[in-house]
Amino acid sequence: MRRVASALTLALAASGCAYYNAMWSAERFAKDARRLEAHGQEPEARTQWARAAVKAESVLVHHPHSRWADDALVLRAEGLALAGTCDAAAAPLAKALATVHDAPLRERAGLAAAHCALRSGKPTDADRALAEPLASSDAHRRSRAEYLAGQGAASRYDYDAAVVHFERSREPQALPARVRVLLTAGRAADAAAVLDTLALGPFVGDDWADLLDQLATVGGAAAASAALDRMLLQRRVPYAERARLLVSDGDRRLARGDFDIATARYEQAAASLPAAQGGVARVRGVRVLAARAASPADLSAVIATLTHLSRSEKEGGLGGGAGAADAQSLLDLVGRVSATHETFGETFRSAELARDSLKAPRLAGQLFLDLAATDSGSLFAAKALVAALPLLPDRHDSIVAILDRRYAAAPYTRAFRGEASLAYAALEDSLAHELGIQVVRVVTGGATRARAWTVLTGPRGPWLDDQPGSAVTTPGARRPPEAVPGRRVPTERPVRERPVVPPASS
């Protein structure tokens, strides 16, 4: 009997040790997952949560009636949810919320359930699951609940409530989330103030890049530049991230035509990097020089500078070839714009590239004017003049006077005035064929519709050469490349704010 009792005692002890070890391993994986989440390492955290769920399930299978069974159940549900497998977590979550009575465990289960509800687009379910965590005596769980409640309110477009919830949360993601909600609500000044607070915390480059882009969209490029300047004054930023933010800010200012500020930003970016790594910023500076060009002669200095930068790459001066690739790409584009062409279509395409890809409005406007002057008898001369109008606003009246005096009856002038003209469609077809575009007409009931339209002067971009056989509906049904199924979108996208697309002529 003593031997039997001893064996039973040893068996129970071994079972207890196995149970303790499994539960300890599950908790350790969960602790690692929380630590990784705090450092923004989400993929690694999900892996650790999945391991925690597996270990917790092992405890439930082998010790379903132990006094730690509720802990294992909640940890399994929590692990599955935060590992991104909410479908698998649904059953253990429902069981935990129905059977577990311990308040901290219920709060953890509620947080996991709210996480899954938000991922499934069910903010109302998330609100119900967060009722207990929001009232928790534990500051960490309460903070997490406020963050999730803010996400739910934002998904319902209740931005004021979302801001309040994010203000109460101490989660690392709460400050960036509050900035995004404020920007979505159009409150750019408030968002900029929160950005100043964000600058005092840990630096996350991707967050700053995204938030500054959004601030520029809502509050203007100047507001984004000012916020970036304040942040750089308040904290030390790794030089590579500093250069990236400065280059992005320069890009935003260049897109607005703020050439002096863009140049200064690119110079700051290049100065913050070792000489061998500043090639991208230096090439961006040359792009500003190209955008300032007012005539083809102004491109000579651009070509000379780019040639020098491309050559310096062979000597290791552009940091692994990134700057060299940009320099060569820009050099090719400038070469196509400045080249002399024999046909109207090729010259017209060069002017469009100057406008849409080189982002040089004065140069493009002059190229359109030169084209109209060189071939004043062309049926397309009026189109070139109309294309120049938005690019040279200081010459608007004189260009319109030429249109009225020389080309009053031309189809493009009539379309510019909003008058219907069947000849307009035929001319657009002719130009499209010359540019290498396949024209697709839409016929409805065999009838041709004729309506008033405005002239389609652009934008068109590099994809004309990349995909010469691509189908484009014209006039009026021409779509940007990202809207055409199967068409590759070019890396350099043209600006899209100028054109007014005319109605389709079938």
Q: Would you say the C-alpha torsion 394, 398, 400, 406 has a positive or negative sign?
A: negative
The 8-class DSSP code of residue 97 comes to H
Q: Rounded mean pLDDT of 10-38?
A: 71
CA distance 187 to 413: 43
**pLDDT score, position 381:** 87
Hey, is 493 helix, strand or coil?
Answer: coil
CA distance 220 to 4: 82
pLDDT tens digit string along 361-416? 999 999 999 999 988 887 788 889 999 999 999 999 999 999 899 988 888 888 88
* SS3 of 284-317: HHHHHHHHCCCCHHHHHHHHHHHHHHHHHHCCCC
Q: Which has the higher per-residue pLDDT, 344 or 141?
A: 141
Strand partners, 447: 444
Hey, is 413 helix, strand or coil?
Answer: helix
Question: What percent of the chain has a predicted confidence (pLDDT) above 90?
Answer: 51
Give every CB contact of residue 151 below 8 A, 6+ residues apart in sequence: 118, 123, 126, 162, 177
Confidence band of 164 (pLDDT split at 50, 70, 90): very high
Distances 289 to 10, 25, 249, 328, 379 between C-alpha atoms, Å: 83, 61, 17, 16, 34
pLDDT tens digit string along 422-477? 777 777 777 766 666 544 444 444 444 433 334 455 554 333 333 333 333 333 33
pLDDT tens digit string along 176-188? 999 999 999 999 9
CA distance 430 to 131: 67
- Decide: 183 and 218 in contact? Cβ < 8 Å: yes
